Chains A and B, each alone.
Chain A
Amino acid sequence: MAYLLFSGTAFLLMGIFISPNGLDLIPVSVLKQLRPLVYFGLGWVGFLYGFQLEWRYLRRIPSAWYITATGLFLLPAMGLLAGAWGVAVGLQHIQLISPDWILPLSGIAAILLAESCTAFVFWANRRYRFSGRHYRLACFVAAIDNFFPISCAALLFLFFPLKTMGLSPIPALMVEAMMGVAAGHVLHYLVRRVSDPLDVSTILFGAVFTLSGAAYLFHFSPLFVAMMAGLTFTNRTRRHSWFQQRLTPVEKPLYLMFMIVLPLYGFESGWAPLAAAIVLVTIKYLTKRMTLFATRRLHQAPGDFSRRGAFLLLPMSGIGPALLLEIRERFPAEWIGWASAILIFALLLGDWAGAAGVYQAARKKAK
């Protein structure tokens, strides 16, 4: 059961079970009211992600690992973009999707499916007692690669017409980043002398809510803005570990919330998205494996880690559902149902294939 229902998978299945595609237990009115919670979740996840990017820690990591991590996102993303494009063209030929959906669907698939799940890598390493430099690299890659989809989302949002400011995308991106940086500084100032954890949580919750909501109003990405705030805050505060102890426990429940909420909005069911997800997960596995093989000299560890590494990095984290929910709020287009379906199937397949692959690898190692 542990393999079939690895943490997020169970919550995703629960979401499917109560979604309109399942028993349809959640009324539309409740879904509407869930929006503030989703926005809080987006802001908080972004803030916590940024909070982990502490320069004092990051600078100790060899630059070769950064190159590997970048490659492990960009090459699979390109592979997925090409694969998703091909699949979308095929689906359009049999008139399942409209021609206008090909570009957004392939782009979204490439951004959302290329990243990896940190929790899964830690879980597998702990469960099978994997240790060594390769596994530390896998942990690092899985943790750092969320940066790419969050940044891609920030860019994506800028194509939404910025009526409020009349800015073109690049200056708008600067404003978006500066908003987060300014918020991080203000937050640091606010909690600088507050030592009561309950007061700190009230201030942080309030600040993240405000920031996330304000980002939405300015047509910015709440995830990106909050990430910039977290990044600034973590590098300003002197109580990094104190905050980490108190903030991190909130992160996992939020990812689980995204897993449940994503299917609740409904998704395209049927064989086509499932087939697309199978193709894309296979492409992801192959491209991760190829990239790991190609960068093996940069790992600074002996042996070929590509097969085990590709399985370890195959499952996707909750950032995918979070981003898709964010995109759904901003671009409520018809193709979102397809994107949700592909992501949901890919999440399930990725989790199961990853768990099975790692299990096989562990057995082999034991023999």
Chain B
Amino acid sequence: MIHLILILGLTAFGYFMRHFSSLEISESAAYAMGMMMLVGYCAGKLVQRRSLPAVTGYLLAGMVMGPFVMKLITLRHVADLQLINGLALSLIALTAGGEIRLARLRPHLKSIAWVLLSQSLIMVAGMTIGFWLLSVWGLALSVTTQAGVIAAGLLLGIVSTASSPSTTLAVIVEYGTRTALTDWILGVVMLKDIVILFLFCIGLNVAHSLTSSAAAEVVGIAAVSIQISGSLLAGLVIGLIIMAYMRHAKSRQVVFILAVCFFAYEVFEPLKLHPLLIMMTAGFLVVNLSREGDRLMDHLEEISPPVYVLFFTLAGATLRLPLLKSFGLVAMVLVILRLVCKWGGTWIGLRVAGNLRRMRHRGWTAFVSQAGLSLGMAIIIQEQFPGWGESVAMLILAVVFINQLIGPLTLKWLLDRDGNQQSQESI
């Protein structure tokens, strides 16, 4: 009750600030940050009482306060907070990398590889066929040619393969317990990002050759390989720096970690390297190759709650609700198709791998959420295919919107169910 009252009080305060004659709330990003943290925190607590993941509360709070609903957070705020967003993303990626313990992951490597392969293949094939069928029914937006439909479907399929590591991690951290299942989920989600970067690059080349558009420079596989290996190398260097600092300097470790995350994002992002991959590699190395791993994870745990609240509330504010009006029906069809493909991919992958039997039918629920990487790929599609790229990008944003809202729920359901089953087995 108290959280609901607080949300109402803060919203009233926000309304007062917005409508107060000459106050230009866009000028103060600090104010927006504070409001997002407080309202997001209260909304998280409120939904937790309903046995929902707090991430859903943060996203909903951001969406309602955001520039498309109540406008308490403006688009300028969202732009001004990119640095904070980058810092939060680096911290989440460092935590995600640190969560992967090689010793615990080793038994699942086979199933991870198979699930990755089968999910990618089935998703690409399924979404291409699905989009082609939509075009037959006249729902394929502004894509007019057959080649364009196949190119768009292919890219849509690759983008749909992605899951959101940050959302997955946030729900797992909230859940508290680390099990074989959480290790497997994190392994799949993290490695999937690397696979998708390569797939997307191949997809772009194929789409360009299909549509014979020379509008933009085609990203080469060599360039992607350099980006990925560069990111892994940068991650290695940062991991070594963190290890050295934590071994020798006993004070201000939290400040040091924050500074590293901040600089990693600011330095490597303009170089076209992937901050997410860099920090995941660094976290993975510190935890698996040094004795400082546990201390690093303790420090990250200390600073993570405000970071999660801010990051996901801001992510909620960027969800474009009006898109649902324009693309709602097609987006819903694609979301359902994506879920079916996820189920099929996971089922086949686990069946071939021959382990995690109990996850065959419900393992797919861990991979529904979608965020950063998908949005980045949507922007590239928009830039590279001036004819139909924009409408496909908007469609992707609408699909991400829905997936990002239902993803945490399905993952929480899976973790609860697995937890219950394990406790029953132990009894």
Measured CB to CB, the residues of A under 8 A from B are 30, 32-37, 39-40, 43, 163-164, 190, 198-199, 201-203, 205-214, 216-218, 222, 253, 256
Q: Is the CB of A212 within 8 A of B30?
A: yes
Q: Is the CB of A198 within 8 A of B305?
A: yes
Q: Is the CB of B38 within 8 A of A36?
A: no
Chain B 251-275 near chain A by CB (<8 Å), digits 1 or 0: 0101100000000001000000000
Chain B residues within an 8 Å CB radius of A33? 80-84
Q: Which residue of A lies closest to B20 (CB)?
A: A164
Q: Is the CB of A209 within 8 A of B305?
A: no
CA of A36 to CA of B21, assembled, Å? 23
> Can you offer 24 A-B residue contacts whose CB atoms are under 8 A?
A30-B83, A30-B266, A33-B81, A35-B29, A36-B80, A36-B83, A37-B84, A164-B21, A199-B41, A201-B305, A202-B305, A206-B34, A206-B36, A207-B34, A209-B33, A209-B37, A210-B35, A212-B30, A213-B30, A213-B31, A214-B31, A214-B34, A253-B255, A256-B255
Additional pairs, 15, CB under 8 Å, beyond known A35-B80, A210-B34, A256-B255: A34-B83, A39-B29, A163-B22, A164-B20, A199-B41, A202-B37, A202-B41, A210-B31, A210-B35, A213-B29, A213-B32, A216-B27, A216-B31, A217-B17, A217-B31
CA of A212 to CA of B21, assembled, Å? 20
Q: Is the CB of B21 within 8 A of A35?
A: no
Q: Which residue of B lies closest to A253 (CB)?
A: B255
Chain B 289-308 near chain A by CB (<8 Å), digits 1 or 0: 00000000000001011100
> Which of A35, A203, A218 sits near B41, CB closer than 8 Å?
A203
Chain B residues within an 8 Å CB radius of A35? 29-30, 80
> Which of B6, B28, B83 sits near A213, CB closer than 8 Å?
B28
- For the residues of A in contact with B, the DSSP-based class is helix
Q: Is the CB of A216 within 8 A of B28?
A: yes
B151 within 8 A of A: no
Measured CB to CB, the residues of B under 8 A from A are 6, 17, 20-25, 27-38, 41, 80-84, 252, 254-255, 266, 302, 304-306, 309
Q: A164-B20, A164-B22 known; A40 and B302 CB under 8 Å? A: no
CA of A35 to CA of B30, assembled, Å? 8
Q: Which residue of A lies closest to B83 (CB)?
A: A33
Q: Is the CB of A206 within 8 A of B21?
A: no
State the Cβ distance, A204 to closest chain B Cβ, in Å. Answer: 9
State the Cβ distance, B252 to closest chain A Cβ, in Å. Answer: 7
> Which of B24, B33, B81, B254 sits near A217, CB closer than 8 Å?
B24
Q: A198-B302, A199-B305, A214-B17 known; A209 and B82 CB under 8 Å? A: no
Chain A residues within an 8 Å CB radius of B84? 33, 36-37
Q: Is the CB of B83 within 8 A of A202?
A: no
Chain B residues within an 8 Å CB radius of A216? 27-28, 30-31
Q: Is the CB of A36 within 8 A of B33?
A: yes
Chain A residues within an 8 Å CB radius of B254? 253
Q: Is the CB of A209 within 8 A of B31?
A: yes
CA of A163 to CA of B21, assembled, Å? 9
Q: A36-B80, A37-B84, A190-B6 known; A209 and B34 CB under 8 Å? A: yes
Q: Which residue of B lies closest to A166 (CB)?
A: B21
Question: What 6 pairs between A and B have smallest CB-CB spacing?
Answer: A213-B31, A210-B34, A209-B34, A206-B37, A33-B83, A39-B30
State the Cβ distance, A225 to closest chain B Cβ, in Å. Answer: 12
State the Cβ distance, B265 to closest chain A Cβ, in Å. Answer: 10
Chain B residues within an 8 Å CB radius of A43? 30
Chain B residues within an 8 Å CB radius of A209? 30-31, 33-35, 37
CA of A208 to CA of B33, assembled, Å? 10
Q: Is the CB of A208 within 8 A of B34?
A: yes
Q: Is the CB of A202 within 8 A of B306?
A: yes
Chain B residues within an 8 Å CB radius of A256? 255
CA of A34 to CA of B41, assembled, Å? 23
Q: Is the CB of B252 within 8 A of A253?
A: yes
Q: Is the CB of A212 within 8 A of B83?
A: no
CA of A208 to CA of B306, assembled, Å? 13
Q: Is the CB of A40 within 8 A of B252?
A: no
Q: A39-B28, A164-B21 known; A213 and B34 CB under 8 Å? A: yes
CA of A203 to CA of B35, assembled, Å? 10
* Of listed B6, B28, B81, residue having the most chain A CB within 10 A: B28
State the Cβ distance, A31 to closest chain B Cβ, in Å. Answer: 10
State the Cβ distance, A144 to closest chain B Cβ, in Å. Answer: 26
